[in-house]
Every structure is written in C-alpha cells, then in structure tokens.
Structure 1
C-alpha cells in the first residue's frame, strides 16, 4: 500500500496532465480536482512516510522522509492554490496539462533517493517551465524569455549529469545517501556538479537573471515558479546533499557564501525595482539565497 501511494503521488498529476494535453476537455475542474487529490495523497504520505525501491541502474528508489515530507505537502498545496487562481484566467487545457506535469515532476524530484530519479524529475520540470513561460507562443518576446530561462537552467543542469557520471566512475553508487562515502577526488567532482545544478535551478548568482525573464510568462506560472517549486528545488537539493557538502571541506563554504552574496545583492536590486513582477523576481532570488546560505552553513 505504501509503495502504491508513492507511485500515485507523482503519477496522478503526471497522468492527468498528459491526458489534458490530448483530450482538452473540462480542463479547469479536472486540474483542480487532481491537484486537490494530490494534496490529500501528499498529506497521507507525509504521515505514513512510504518508501519504494525502483532499481534503475544503481539507485535506491524513492521515499518520503522528514525533509521530503515537508516538501511534498508544500509543493502540492502551492500547486492547488495556483490552479485555483488560474481558473479565473483565460488559459486553456494545454496550460493546465503542463502545470500538472510540472507538479508531478517536482514531486518526483523531492522524493527521489538517487541521482537517476532526481534527473528524471529535474529535466521534466525544466522542460515544462520553458513551455509554461512561453505559453503565449505567438508573442516572440515571451518565447525568447522562455528560451533564456530554459538554456540558463540547462547550463547548470549539466552539473547534475556530470555528478552522476562521476558517482558511477568513483564507486558506482548513485544513491544520494551514499555520495559522502565516495573516494575524495570523485566526491569533490560530484559535489561540484550538484552545487552547479542547484545554483542554476534556484537562480543564484551568476544565474539569477533567468528568473527576471521568467516573469514574461502568465501570472500563475510566475506564482508557481516563485513559490515552493522550481526555484526552491536547488535549495532543497543542497539540503538533501548537505552531508556530501560537509564531507568535501570546501563545497559547504562555497554554498554559504554564494547564498549570502545573492541575498545581499539581489535584495538591493529588489529595492531599486519599480515594476512589481521584477521586484518579486529579485526578492525571490534574495530569499532563496537565505535558504542556500542555510544549506551550506
């Protein structure tokens, strides 16, 4: 039963989102109902803490523990709130389908216990962000903004591929819990790749500008990216990998200083903004900077 719950938690929004892309009927009530059911599943998972072994390569599967229990509930609640708000906007079935797929990918990301599952959720989440930012594709400016956000985060995402390759080469264990036990040289390479990917996804310096361009998307998309989902994913990964960062002797300090500098500089940028969405973009980078700083410290 616990394994079924853990499969349903991301599977329900992923399946419903894919169905809405094909059927395109009753998009609003279906999306809200699925998000509400997902929230119920997330609360149940946070209480029961299920785990399932999914042997992809050398991984250990997915699980809901103390850290991910908080995240699954927060992600599902934010997704439901955004979809309820989006019901009042002139947005079609494609939008609601993409939002549900994004929500499912984020839930895969926060429950992943190894780099294989993490990469799956991480990449689908990035692709959906591109499609959602450029949702109004007839406007070339919005499409360019989606491309900037996608390519910038993709540049950081290469670090996650590098980390997975280094983990395989250094010991063959892709489980997140086993990374601190890698040989010192390989451990440093894995930590460097994870830090790069996390800073890119969380819009920390020097990647912060993509979040400003992401504001060209519909307001519900901006709300979803800025809440407990995409920009928080990097900080979550750093918290999940904190034993690895501490084991290297340098990665934790690098993360701490990067978060602190981002919080200070982007906080100053936010104060200087006169346009509300750009103020929110800069202040979000600054607030996530505190989270990144805490993960390193």
Structure 2
C-alpha cells in the first residue's frame, strides 16, 4: 500500500517534469499523457485513502521524508486528484491559438503542482511539508503567470509568489521555534 502512496506523488511529478522538458515538441496529442496521469492518480488515491498507509524514508540528516494518510488526507487526496483531472480535461479543450505550442508545458506544470499538493496533504514530517510547500508555491506562480503575454496575469502570478513567500516566513519561524522548544520533526508531535 505504501507503493501506491508514493505513486500518487511520484507519477504526476515524473510525467509533469517530462512534459515540461519536452513540451515544445510538435504533436497534436499534448494533453493526453497529462489527462491519463491525472486519471491514474485519481484511481490510485481511492485505495490509498481507504488503506491509510504511512511511510518514511531518509531525507536530510535527522529529518526524514514522511508521508501518511490520516482521516483528513483520506478525504482531501482523492478530491485533489479529481480536481486536477477536471482542470486538465477542461484545459484540453482550450483552443487559444497562441498557447497551443505551450500546452504540454502547462499540463506538466499542472501535474507538478498536483504532486506537490499530494505531498503537502500527506506530509507527516515538517521537512516534507516545507519541501512540498515550496514546490507548490513555485508551480502556482508558474501556472498563474502561464499566459505571460497578458500583463495582468504576470502581476497576479507575482502577487501569488509574494504571498506564498510571506507565508513561508511564518512556517520557517514556527519550525525553528518548535525545534528550539524541543519538539520533534513529526507533525503529530507538534499538536
């Protein structure tokens, strides 16, 4: 079951990165891998939500990378996967000519964002949460400002970027205070 939990994050991250790198190659099927990946993540998230697995791997010295599905994550993870699938299906129908060449890049960014949200939702340690939060902030900036030719979208992306960076300060201060106070890095120890 832990393999399925990892797959809910690794699969969209890997396909998303590949689409971002290869996104300019001419093909009429740019959206299909993204939609198929999002559908697979939705299918994987249901047994993960029911099985409620937990796993930890070494990440940094003394700071493991932990994922766990609790009651809240069991509801939110499939919802995130479903919304990602719906967004990608909707975006497949976007016929805006200037953005056709970059459609695979958008799909890739959306999958990377989905992976970051999946990790954020299932994070069981502070380093995992902070790592996923940073990736989520960067990809949200890239997605909001995706149509950079439209000036208002660039401004909106910058606003989102600055907002998440401001929230980061609070997260890092809280993490430092928790560690200084003797709390561990597991999120359930902070409650």
- Residue 61 (structure 1) aligned with residue 66 (structure 2): yes
2:83 to 72, 75, 78: 78
Instruction: Report the alpha carbon displacement of residue 80 of structure 1 after superposing the two structures with TM.
Output: 0.5
Q: Which runs of 4+ in 1 moved over 6 A?
A: none
2:92 to 67, 87, 93: 87
State how many pairs are aligned: 179
Compared CA separation, residues 97 and 60, structure 1 to 2 (3 A): closer
Larger gyration radius, structure 1 or structure 2: 1
Q: Which residue of 1 aligns with 2:8?
A: 9
Compared CA separation, residues 34 and 40, structure 1 to 2 (3 A): same
Instruction: Report the alpha carbon displacement of residue 172 of structure 1 after superposing the two structures with TM.
Output: 4.8
Residue 58 of structure 2: SS of its match in structure 1? coil
Instruction: Report the alpha carbon displacement of residue 130 of structure 1 after superposing the two structures with TM.
Output: 0.6
Structure 1 residue runs without a partner (length 5+) = 181-297
Contact 2:57 2:64 (C-alpha < 8 Å) held by counterparts: yes
Q: Greater share of strand residues, 1 or 2?
A: 2
In structure 1, what is the Cα distance between the partners aligned to 2:63 and 2:46?
29
Provide TM-score, normalisation by structure 1. Answer: 0.58
In structure 2, what is the Cα distance between the partners aligned to 1:13 and 1:116?
21
In structure 1, what is the Cα distance between the partners aligned to 2:17 and 2:67?
22
Instruction: Report the alpha carbon displacement of residue 60 of structure 1 after superposing the two structures with TM.
Output: 6.6
- Residue 114 (structure 1) aligned with residue 125 (structure 2): yes
Query: Which fold has the larger relative contact order, with Cα–Cα distance below 8 Å and residues 6 or more apart in sequence?
Result: 2
Q: Greater share of helix residues, 1 or 2?
A: 1
In structure 2, what is the Cα distance between the partners aligned to 1:60 and 1:122?
13
Instruction: Report the alpha carbon displacement of residue 177 of structure 1 after superposing the two structures with TM.
Output: 0.7
Residue 136 of structure 1: SS of its match in structure 2? coil
